[in-house]
Structure 1
Amino acid sequence: MKSGNLTTIGFDADDTLWQNEQFFQFTEKRLTELLADYAGEEHVSHRLLEAEKRNIGVYGFGIKGFTLSMIETAIEVTEGRITAAGIAEILAAGREMLAHPIEILPHAREALEALAGTYRLVLVTKGDLFDQERKLAQSGLGELFEAVEIVSAKTPETYSRVFARHGDGPRKSMMVGNSVKSDIIPAIEAGSWAIHVPHDLTWVLEQVEPPLDAPRFRQIPDLGQLPEIVREIG
């Protein structure tokens, strides 16, 4: 096990190791089509986003909360006229999301395999416990991680706690992810390195400007570049 500048690497899961946001956007499109007789696509999407903002603190992140927000949006947009069949269609769309096969992103397995054994690899993801465990199991990547942390929020305190528990503290740790808001900024604030791997699709509530002037910030086009960056740092 590595004992230099860097000993522990945390990885985000959704849209870092496997596809996720595209399924939310596809299902949102289905909702706008279902409600097309009541409101335009842009209006429905706006109302859905507002519902998600209100509900994150209650339902947390994930498909189940998203489904409940879709139902709430449908009731609001139709002023209570949505039929039982319409509600059933929304529930079916949510179930389809929960059953969708995992699509591993390019270079994810190769990067993990290149780093496993030399560094402690920790999966740090937020969302619904059952769904995240399902995706990890189906991905076939679970054996490459020494620990898995499914958290309700990603804050500097979260990373300090996780990297103290599973590593040598945040100063000797790195977080890798696609979300600047959740994976990068709070990890840097905790004292860790942070590697941003942009994804073509990022939820609007996760979109913030990257900390380009932070000494411990790096950005790479894909996970294929990660082993080289890790060697340079640690």
Structure 2
Amino acid sequence: MYKNIKVIAFDADDTLWVNETYFRDAEHQFAKLLSQYETENKIDQELFKKEIENLKLYGYGIKGFILSMIECALELSNYNINQKIISKILDIGKEMLEKPIELLPEIDDVLEGLQHRYKLIVATKGDLLDQERKLEKSNLLHYFHHIEVMSDKKPTDYLKLIQHLDINPSEFLMIGNSLKSDILPLLEIGASAIHVPFHTTWAHEKISEKEQEAADYRTVSNIKEVMGLF
């Protein structure tokens, strides 16, 4: 079913390397810092609401997450938050930005096996500087012909990328962990997609069971299984 594919795109965060786990850890640290004001569950809910509210301003990535934490802390404390706690929130964000890159198992083998048969690219969301840093530290750059850091992953965003690559949607395959961002938009424009689940998913990236059942895509349990599909 993939005989016409010319370009294979890989999502980066939680497809090539670990990412979402660090956000869960940061959320837990943030809730501990604000424990005098609210329960951890309430703090998580309010932070998520603030992140979604700010997406249109800050986009995706750690820097927007840091700003959302600070805004959330100010509001939950009724603007009485200690300056030292603000400093600790900034430290949480800086620690996230300085995390070492932990590649997911078998990534090198898969990219090595595919690079001579297909044009490989990265198609990821997030902050440009941060994603470039992670790609540089990953030692994976030599596998890819093109890097696309996207402000969003809607069907129109993928169509622009495909037009830039000068191919048809039927010649494009996306591999990623998010059904909402890496799978459904591709199916909508007539491209192909393979879902490789990660053990934790940001709530904003989740879709309903009805949407899952209506979509025609392939899921593999790990990235190495992709090799058997070609």
* Fold in common (TM above 0.5): yes
TM-score using structure 1 length? 0.94
Instruction: Measure how far apart 1:139 and its partner are.
Output: 0.5
Tell me whether 1:220 sits opposite 2:220 in the alignment.
yes
- SS, match of residue 193 in structure 2: strand
- Say whether the 8 Å CA contact 1:7–1:167 is kept in structure 2: no
Distance 1:111 1:42 in 2: 39
- SS, match of residue 175 in structure 1: strand
Distance 1:128 1:199 in 2: 21
Q: 2:174 corresponds to which residue? A: 175
Distance 2:66 2:92 in 1: 8
**Paired residues for 1:39-54 under 5 Å:** 39-54=38-53
Q: 2:123 corresponds to which residue? A: 124
Equivalent position amino acid for 2:226 in 1:
L
- Say whether the 8 Å CA contact 2:184–2:215 is kept in structure 1: no
- Say whether the 8 Å CA contact 1:156–1:186 is kept in structure 2: yes
- Say whether the 8 Å CA contact 1:123–1:145 is kept in structure 2: yes
Q: 1:165 corresponds to which residue? A: 164
**Paired residues for 1:1-234 under 5 Å:** 4-166=3-165, 168-209=167-208, 211-215=212-216, 217-229=217-229, 231=230
Instruction: Measure how far apart 1:227 and its partner are.
Output: 1.4
Does 3-12 or 182-191 show the bigger shift? 3-12
- Say whether the 8 Å CA contact 1:122–1:166 is kept in structure 2: no
Query: What are the Cα deviations for residues 53-95 of structure 1, in whole angstroms up to 9, with x where unaligned?
Result: 1000000000000000000110111111111101000001100
The 1:45–1:84 alpha-carbon spacing in structure 2 relative to 1, beyond 3 Å, is same
Distance 1:83 1:98 in 2: 24
Equivalent position amino acid for 1:225 in 2:
E
Distance 2:117 2:165 in 1: 14
TM-score using structure 2 length? 0.95
The 1:120–1:212 alpha-carbon spacing in structure 2 relative to 1, beyond 3 Å, is farther
- Say whether the 8 Å CA contact 2:26–2:92 is kept in structure 1: yes
Structure 1: state its 5+ residue gaps.
Answer: none
Query: What are the Cα deviations for residues 13-70 of structure 1, in whole angstroms up to 9, with x where unaligned?
Result: 0000100001001011001000111111001001100100100000000000000000
Distance 1:99 1:167 in 2: 36
- Say whether the 8 Å CA contact 1:8–1:167 is kept in structure 2: no
Structure 2: state its 5+ residue gaps.
Answer: none
Instruction: Measure how far apart 1:147 and its partner are.
Output: 0.4
Equivalent position amino acid for 2:67 in 1:
L
The 1:18–1:167 alpha-carbon spacing in structure 2 relative to 1, beyond 3 Å, is farther
Identity of counterpart residues, as a percentage? 41
- Say whether the 8 Å CA contact 1:52–1:66 is kept in structure 2: yes
- SS, match of residue 194 in structure 1: strand
